[in-house]
Amino acid sequence: MTALQPDNTSDPPARLIARLEAIVGRGNVLHSKADRFVYGYDASVFRGRPAKAVALPGSTGEVAELVRLANSEGLAFVARGAGTGINGGALPQEDLLVIELSRMNRILEVDPDNRLVVVEPGVVNQDLKLFLAKRGFGFSYVPDPGSQVVSTIGGNVGNNAGGMHCLKYGVTSNHIAGLEVVLPGGEIIEVGGKTPDRPGMDLTGFFVGSEGTLGIVTRIIARILPLPEAVLTQLALFPDLDSAARAVSGIMAAGILPAALELLDRRSMTLVDRAVHIGFPDAAGSALIIELDGVREGLEIEVGRVREICTANDAVEIQTAETPEAADRIWLARRAAYGAMARISPTIYIADGCVPRNRLSEAIGRAIEICARKGLEVINLAHAGDGNLHPLIPYDQTIPGEKEKVIEAARELLAMCVEMGGTITGEHGIGVEKQEEMTLLFNGRELDAMFSLKLAFDPADRCNPRKIFPVAMFDRLQLSGP
């Protein structure tokens, strides 16, 4: 894992600022020392260098002009949205131009007949959901990362974000039909589109999850789905993590596919209780939040089957929400979890890895052991249905050596996931956080194949440089010369 440090950079030349302002307008260029320093941060524990300057375009044409200007000035550039990423993927790795897309936040078209919506990258995930709901379209955009109230669709596309409901409905890539992209040379292309089964290579698939390293997405054609006829939410409480994990396997083995299946350990339940007063009983050592949706008649049968499976796996209590308000209350226990962690620590490292779901309990147990050996606490949350672990490690980064200890623990957690047949990220992406850990999952030939794709789009590595791949691959590129 790469640990970036802020670096002092010179003030941007007046000539550069004037050229940027000519493109996006005087009020849409940030270049004070404080502004440039702030954009060396995101929601991760990593730190980049201060930006050369920050430009806020309002259109695809302006993005393309900014990219061409950056090329003419020999500057690298990085696209940025809300800055909610936790892998350091939007941090400046060098003295570069930040292209901030928050002004491009329009919902351009809603097409219920074709189940599509067209948006700009700065649209906030939850704002799109609320827009569709308030106008009574009867549809929703399903991907719902935990950061949905602030994260943008463009950032979700870049990291192929998951979320609570990806178990049944898939991650972001399953909901993207097409993109408009500004390439690293400043050219504008369209990939995918509104019609299915387009011929040729799946270029849309190349860009979704590429973390802004192949180009800058400026328009998104996304799929929307009809709202289900009924939604039922259950909260099942268990004496320990093992019984909850067995219930997860039992539900999936029974052929039931919940819309969401979330797990909390006792420590997270305690912290959530302190913050929002859910009222978990002392006898509960873990909790499952289970959401089922579909046709009402069949749903009642599935709710009964889930109850039977949880009871057979020693559930101490099972609640079924009778009203939307009661369902919201259950979900609050999960959605408030990250915020509740602030009560115990100024900094929380959020790990992200996947294991086969039948090894979930074992993985959580080993995560606890790894952290305990290093004198660290760990609080466990998981998208249990697809084995996506989110161990949360609280620490104080003002204590010398503490951050390094946490990063080492996280590296061991990722190695454990790969050893168990899993992977190093379920939804948060690679960025700078896991670029060295890519070697745990891929061999040299596989990495070279992916890197060759990066270089095909961006041979000078100017578009979000030195991300995703191990640093040595970029060093080798520089040594080889033009």
Q: Which residues share a beta bridge with 381?
A: 264, 390
Say how far apart CA 205 and CA 132 lie, in whole Å. 26
Structure tokens at 256: 């039931």
How many CB atoms are closer than 10 A to CB 10? Answer: 8
CATH topology of domain 107-226: 3.30.465
Low-confidence ranges of the chain (pLDDT < 70): 1-9, 478-482
Tokens 């996280």 found at: 410
Q: Where are the domains of the chain?
A: 14-100, 107-226, 230-338, 345-419, 442-480
Domains 14-100 and 107-226 share a fold: no
Does residue 4 sit in helix, strand or coil? coil
* pLDDT confidence of residue 343: 85
Q: What is the pLDDT of residues 359-400, one digit of tens each?
A: 999 999 999 999 999 999 999 999 998 899 999 999 998 999
> Which CATH number applies to 345-419?
3.30.70.2740
Q: pLDDT at position 6, please?
A: 47
Phi, then psi, of 287 in degrees rounded to 5: -140, 145
pTM: 0.92
What number of CA atoms fall less than 13 Å from residue 152's CA on the CB side?
Answer: 25
CATH 2.130.10.10 fits 230-338, yes or no: no
Distance from chain centroid for Cα 387: 16
Evaluate whether 3 touches 46 at the Cβ level (below 8 Å): yes
Cβ pair 132, 111 in contact under 8 A? no
- Two structure tokens written together for 396: 């104080």
Burial environment of residue 199 by CB neighbours within 10 A (0 to 12, 13 to 18, 19 or more): exposed
Residue 418: the pLDDT is: 97
* pLDDT score at 122: 98
In the sheet that holds 77-80, the strands lie side by side as: 29-30, 53-55, 97-100, 77-80
**What is 14-100's CATH number?**
3.30.43.10
Helix (H, G, I), strand (E, B) or coil at 57: coil
| Chain segment 453-476, per-residue pLDDT in tens | 999 999 999 999 999 999 999 998
CA–CA distance, 68 with 71 (Å, rounded to integer): 5
Torsion, Cα 469 97 32 4, to 10 degrees, reads 10
